[in-house]
Chains A and B, each alone.
Chain A
C-alpha cells in the first residue's frame, strides 16, 4: 500500500504562531501537491512541487519537496484564522495517479 502519512493529525494554535505540517512516505513520487479544504468545501490546490529539494513560497506558506521525492513539508508563518482547514498532500505516481495523504486538520484561533 502506498501510504502518505501526514503529521500532526490535528493542530490547534493561536493567531500569529508558526507551524509545520509533514507528509511522509516510503515511496518515491513524480511530484507532490498540497490542497486545502475548508469546512463545507472541496479541496483547493495550493501548490505543486516537482523537483527533489524544490522550495516554493506562497505568501506566508513555504512548501518543500524532499531531496529523495518521498516527503514534503508545509510551513506557515504567522498563522491567521483564515488558514483554518484540512491540509492534504497528494503524491503523483506515474503521470496520472494521485495518492492522497491522511490529512492535517488545522484550527487557528484569533
Chain B
C-alpha cells in the first residue's frame, strides 16, 4: 500500500454508537492531521500530531477523541455524535509541521464519509 489510507470509507452510525476511524500513512512522515470537510464550510483542521504528540486541538468537542500510537497511525474515536457531525473526515500527513515553504505539502487520504442518524 502507498500514500495515506483511511478506513472505513463509509460509516453510518446512530447517536449512541461508538465507532473509530483509522488512518495509516506509508510515507515515513512525522506529522498527521484530522480535517473535517462539510458541504457548506471550508476544510476545518481538527487535530495535529507531530512525532505522535498532539500539537493542536482546534476546539473540537470531546465526543471526538484522537489517538496517535505512532507516527504512522492515527485514529479518531467517535461517541455520542450529533447529526451535524455528518461529514467527510480527511486524514493527512506531512514530512514536517512546516507547511509554509516550497517543500511543505499535505498528503491526504481518500476520507471517511460519516453519516450520523
Tell me the A residues contacting B by CB distance below 8 Å.
3-4, 30-31, 33, 35, 40-45, 48, 50, 88, 90, 92, 94-103
Q: In the complex, what's the smallest C-beta–C-beta distance from A27 to chain B, in angstroms?
A: 14
Which chain B residues lie closer than 8 Å to A103 at the CB level?
42-43
B111 touching A42, Cβ below 8 Å: yes
For window 63-117 of B, CB contacts with A under 8 Å fall at: 90, 92, 97-102, 104-106, 108-111
Which chain A residues lie closer than 8 Å to B102 at the CB level?
31, 48, 50
Q: Main SS of the interface on chain B?
A: loop
Complex CA gap A103/B88 in Å reads 15
Complex CA gap A31/B108 in Å reads 19
Complex CA gap A101/B42 in Å reads 6
Q: Is B4 positioned at the interface, with any CB of A under 8 Å from its CB?
A: yes
B42 touching A31, Cβ below 8 Å: no
Which chain B residues lie closer than 8 Å to A35 at the CB level?
106
Tell me the B residues contacting A by CB distance below 8 Å.
4, 42-45, 90, 92, 97-102, 104-106, 108-111
Residue on A nearest B44 in the bound complex, by CB: A100
B45 touching A98, Cβ below 8 Å: yes
Closest 9 pairs between A and B when the two form their complex, measured CB to CB: A42-B108, A92-B100, A100-B43, A30-B100, A96-B97, A100-B42, A45-B105, A95-B100, A31-B100
Residue on B nearest A45 in the bound complex, by CB: B105
Q: In the complex, what's the smallest C-beta–C-beta distance from B103 to chain A, in angstroms?
A: 8
Which chain A residues lie closer than 8 Å to B98 at the CB level?
95-96
Contact of B106 among A41, A45, A94, A102 (CB under 8 A): A45
Not counting A35-B106, A98-B106, a sample of 12 additional A-B residue pairs whose C-beta atoms are within 8 angstroms of each other reads A40-B110, A42-B4, A42-B110, A43-B108, A48-B101, A48-B104, A92-B99, A95-B100, A95-B101, A96-B97, A100-B42, A102-B42
